[in-house]
Structures are given as C-alpha cells and as structure tokens.
Amino acid sequence: MSPLKRRLPALLFLAALILAVLWRGWERQEVPPDLLTLDGFVWTTTWSVRVSHPPADPELRALLRASVEEELRAIDTLMSRFNENSVLSRFNRHRSLEPFPVPEELLATVALALEVGRRTDGAYDITVAPLMRLWGFGDLRGREVKPDAEEIAASLEGVGYEHLTVSFDPPSLQKAVPELELDLSSIAKGTGVDRVSALLERLGVENYLVDVGGDLRVRGVRPDGNPWRIGIERPLLDRREVHRVLELTSLGVASSGEYRNYVVIDGQRVSHTMDPRVGRPVAHPPSTVTVLAETAEEADAWATAMNVMGVQEGLRLADELGLSVHFLTLSEEGLVERESEAFRRLLGP
C-alpha cells in the first residue's frame, strides 16, 4: 500500500474536522436557548443532533452526547470501511466461501440493501467496491486514463449482489466468489441516523433532527412549534444554493448527487456514482435526487439507486413502488424539477 493511500483516512478526517469547526462556529451564533445542538465526527464526515426543548439538567445533556457518540461508535465497529477492525472490513478480507458470523444489526442493513438491489435489477449494489477502486475513488493517486474494457470486465467478475447470501439462523454472510467485497457507504449513514433516532426516543426525546453526513431523520417540531425545515440543494458545480425547503415533522430524508464528488480522468470529470450493471460511472446531467422514507436507511439506499437509474427509469420504478422521490436536474434549458406521485401527494408540486 502506498504512503498516500495509508494516509487517506487521516487526511479525509482532517479536512472534515476543519469544515466541522467552521460549521459549528456559525451554528453557535444562531442557536436559541431552547434548542440543544450536539455535533461531531464519524466516518470522515460530520454528525449533528438538534433537540427541541431539551432537558435543562446539564448532566442529562451530557448523557445525550455520550450516548449518541457511543451509538455511532457501535455502527463504526460494524460497517465502517475506514475501520480495519470493523466486522465489514474483516468480512471483506475473508476469502473463504464458508459462512462468516456477523451480528444481526449488520445483517438487517445488508438484507435491506440486497432487497433494493433486487428491486432495481442491480442498479443499486453494495458489492461495487472493486469498481470504485478501479476508477480511482478512495485513492489519492486517482487515475490518469480511463479503465479499458478488459479491466472493467475483470472487476465485474467480483461484483454482484447475487453472489452474497444472508442467513439469520445462525446470523452470517456467505460469499459465492472469494473476491466479493461490500461497501455500505450508500446506506451506513442512514443506518446511523436511525440508530441515533431510536436512542433519542428511548431517552424520552420527542422533538429532534438527526443528521449524519447529510442523511436526516426528523420527529416533532422546532422550538417555535413549526416543522423542521430541510433544504434541497440545486445541482450547481460552482456554488451552493437551496432550491426548495421541505417542512417535515417525521420521516427520513436522503439526497444523492454526482456533481460534487468526482475524479478527473483524461481531462474529464467522472462521477463517483457507479452503475454496477455496466461497470462505469453514470453519465447523467448534474442532478440532485431526494428521497423521503419511513427510515433514513431506506431513504439513503433508494437515493443512490435513483441517482444511478436516472429520471425516467427512476420515476417509473418510484411510481410503481410508491416511493417519494424528487429529481432536480441541470439541463441546457435550466433546472428541471420532477417528482413521483407519492412525493407530490405528500408535499405538493
């Protein structure tokens, strides 16, 4: 492993830490006294919890922070690809075709991911790790030229959700090909959001917003009694602008877009969103896909799936399954907004 590659998690953590410090400084200028804001770092990204009308007791507030941090550490030990000792990392290094024992919490997330994979005929696939490496994502060195057809075909031999078996009795994962690896980046943040949300409710918190790396779950209201406000960002390459604000008192929310995370190969921007069906990054126009679901975990997985499928294919499946999906696409004519029937019924056009 090259020195740069070994330093990748640390460098990503440092960059995210700088952003978090700046963000926290801004936040503290705006926080009202009846809103408790907790924030920190996990998986090279930021997390935040906002509690409306929090307990006044400082010890209870400290307990909230400690409990949230402990919950996120538990998720890290299960499914982080940056933690070499996580269950996920150990499974990826496991080359045997024998069942590999894993906790049921991890199985539940993997089972949901496989279900989304089946529903999308492989447009969503958590075994995509070899393709991501092939195209230079997750490696500071990147690539200077695009992979050729033979390289892509070789990587695809180790990709495919159908090569993975989930068993709950006993709890285990089993590979059908030794080189199979899982990458839960497209769902783990949502899992963390849901786990923290469940924790807050066990502690008696009724009004909250939980955010892990942009994946959200809300319940109840803000301190002023109004719904929580969630912004949908425009898919602009040179600046950040909010296109629409959603007002919600429940649900999980996740967005996916290929316009910010990219590599440059042969002088061209290459999206980080991979289409596992063909072994290549998607070539859609810049877009933001937002999904609303009962859980953040579901919203997270489906947002990635919809981004891979694109507007026409994605909305067709969303309407078939009753999913709440919103597309915002940057075209030559400007921004084009499309939403599924379920989204329109929930929030209006």
pLDDT in tens, 202-235: 999 999 999 999 999 999 999 999 999 999 988 7
- Tell me what percent of the chain is helix, strand and coil, each rounded to the nearest 5: 40, 25, 35
What pLDDT, on the 0 to 100 scale, is given for residue 304? 95
What pLDDT, on the 0 to 100 scale, is given for residue 332? 78
Tell me which residue of 254, 253, 275, 273 sits closest to 262, measured CA to CA. Answer: 273
What pLDDT, on the 0 to 100 scale, is given for residue 263? 57
> Measured in whole angstroms, how far is the alpha carbon of residue 179 from the centre of its chain?
24
Angstrom distance (rounded) from CA 265 to CA 246 = 36
What pLDDT, on the 0 to 100 scale, is given for residue 303? 96
Domain hosting 103: range is 87-175
In a domain, 210, yes or no: no
Helices (H), the chain: 3-28, 58-79, 87-93, 104-119, 129-134, 149-156, 188-202, 296-309, 311-321, 341-347
Give the CA count within 13 Å in the CB-facing half-sphere of 285.
16
CB 43 within 8 A of CB 76: yes
CATH number of the CATH domain containing 121: 1.10.3980.10
- Average pLDDT over every residue of 98-116: 97
In a domain, 50, yes or no: no
pTM of the model as a whole: 0.86
Give the chain's mean pLDDT: 86
User: Would you say residue 270 has pLDDT above 80?
Assistant: no
What pLDDT, on the 0 to 100 scale, is given for residue 143? 64
What pLDDT, on the 0 to 100 scale, is given for residue 66? 95
Task: List, for residues 149-172, the tens digit of each pLDDT value.
Answer: 999 999 999 999 999 999 999 999
User: Would you say residue 76 has pLDDT above 50?
Assistant: yes
At 81, the pLDDT band (50, 70, 90 cuts) reads: confident
Contacts (Cβ under 8 Å, ≥6 apart) of 213: 43, 45, 46, 47, 189
Residue 221 is given by DSSP the state B
User: Higher confidence at residue 291 or residue 81?
Assistant: 291
In a domain, 105, yes or no: yes
Contacts (Cβ under 8 Å, ≥6 apart) of 123: 117, 275, 276, 277, 305, 308, 309, 313
What pLDDT, on the 0 to 100 scale, is given for residue 208? 97
Contacts (Cβ under 8 Å, ≥6 apart) of 174: 97, 98, 99, 100, 164, 165, 167
What pLDDT, on the 0 to 100 scale, is given for residue 11? 42
In a domain, 135, yes or no: yes
Q: What is the dihedral of CA 8, 13, 16, 17, to 10 degrees?
A: -150
At 139, the pLDDT band (50, 70, 90 cuts) reads: low
User: Would you say residue 280 has pLDDT above 80?
Assistant: yes
Instruction: Read off φ and ψ for residue 205, nearest 5 degrees.
Output: -80, 125
User: Higher confidence at residue 330 or residue 211?
Assistant: 211
In a domain, 246, yes or no: no
User: Would you say residue 186 has pLDDT above 90?
Assistant: yes
In a domain, 1, yes or no: no
- Secondary structure (3-state) at 154: helix
Angstrom distance (rounded) from CA 197 to CA 31 = 21
Residue 285 Cα distances to 258, 303, 314, angstroms: 9, 16, 14
Q: How many domains does the chain have?
A: 1
In a domain, 132, yes or no: yes
- Average pLDDT over every residue of 4-21: 40
Residue 305 Cα distances to 7, 81, 291, angstroms: 30, 20, 10
What pLDDT, on the 0 to 100 scale, is given for residue 96? 96
In a domain, 157, yes or no: yes
User: Would you say residue 26 has pLDDT above 70?
Assistant: no
Residue 207 Cα distances to 194, 222, 300, angstroms: 14, 7, 22
